[in-house]
Amino acid sequence: MTVREEAHRLLDALPEDRLSEAVELLRQWAAAEHGERPRRRFRTTAVFDGEPDLGERTKEVVRDVWGAEGRRTA
């Protein structure tokens, strides 16, 4: 069995709900072969429990942390 035949067999064996993910991956690989830059899709689900203004205060938080590291002594 060739690699291509095995790939076809594996695609046929996939459940219908997973087939679209496999096809999208193959599209990205095929596009990369033709010199196109594949688009990445990130699927994330996250819950963040933090201060409401944390995004606005990012620079301040980083300055505080890095500044504190510079003042540490052994």
Q: What's residue 47's pLDDT?
A: 64
pTM over 0.85: no
Q: What's residue 6's pLDDT?
A: 93
pLDDT tens digit at each of 74 positions of the chain: 899 999 999 999 999 999 989 988 888 888 776 666 656 666 666 666 667 776 777 888 788 888 766 555 54
Q: What's residue 46's pLDDT?
A: 64
Q: What's residue 5's pLDDT?
A: 93
In the block, which residue shows the tokens 């688009």?
Answer: 39
Task: Measure Cα distances from 25 to 6, 49, 54, 58 in Å.
Answer: 17, 33, 35, 35
